[in-house]
Amino acid sequence: MKKSTSSRRTSSEKSSRVRLPHLEPVRLYRQIADLITQRIDEGAFPIGTLLPSERELAEQLGVSRTTVREGLIALEVTGKIAILVGQGAKVLEAIPRADLGEGLLSADDSDIGPIQLLEARILVELKTVELATINRTEADLERMRQAIALQASAENARDPRYCDGDRAFHVEIARASGNTAYAFVVASLWDKISSPVFQKFVELLTGPERPGETLLEHQRILDAIARQKSTASRKAMKHHLDTVLAAFSRGVGDSQSL
């Protein structure tokens, strides 16, 4: 009897020393990117050929086209495929870029897909623009004007001043809301916009006229805030963000129209 008790105790002590690895949260779009990479490496998708369409991949995988799109663009960033807007995704004979290959698809709670990021921004920024319209000061309005001017001074959408001005405009609206928590959330969401996958979405799925349209939309938002017209400011912000989301929601095989 004593021997049995001792044996159970020894077994329990050994079990207590076993340490299981931490499970990492793997975003669905990264699972798709990994799976397609595996199939390419196995030769299922030969070099130089086009991958199945977004629609076909979504049906085969049982996921949304939006999630497939995020996975494909993640692969484009690593150099595994080339997305030809209006044609599809071409398999390349390229090793994933050393500066992005592993880090891009690493598991992290802060890993947010571009579509989810925009959906969150719509919810939060519609509220911040309403509050800013009520609570803004002349100093707040001046900082928004400066942000628009900075963005307008950029030579193109790749110019750092363009993104800096874009970010500053939205963050200043959140600050003008009078709620520092909203300002923190908006700034944090905007910090994710610098990710390679998000920037590739912008490059591939928004047309060349988008920067000019963005400036006009920002000016309409500012005008409504300055006039303290809450309904108008909310409507202008919703139109602005919905337009970007619509562009991001277009298939990679579709032609650019936004």
Q: Which residue spans of the chain are classified as CATH 1.10.10.10?
A: 28-105
The mean per-residue pLDDT over the stretch 199-228 comes to 89
Percent of the residues in the chain that have a pLDDT greater than 70, as a whole number: 79
What is the domain class of 28-105 according to CATH?
Answer: mainly alpha
The mean per-residue pLDDT over the stretch 29-55 comes to 91
pLDDT for the residue numbered 8: 55
pLDDT for the residue numbered 25: 47
Please tell me the number of Cα atoms within 13 Å of 119 on its side-chain side.
Answer: 7
pTM, two decimals, is 0.70
Residue 126: pLDDT above 50?
yes
Residue 214: pLDDT above 80?
yes
Q: What does DSSP assign to residue 48?
A: T
Q: Comparing 4-13, 28-37, 150-159, which segment has the lowest mean pLDDT? A: 4-13
Q: Are 248 and 116 in contact (CB under 8 A)?
A: no
Calculate the alpha carbon distances from 49 to 46, 74, 82 in Å.
6, 18, 11
Q: Which residue spans of the chain are classified as CATH 1.20.120.530?
A: 114-248
What is the domain class of 114-248 according to CATH?
Answer: mainly alpha
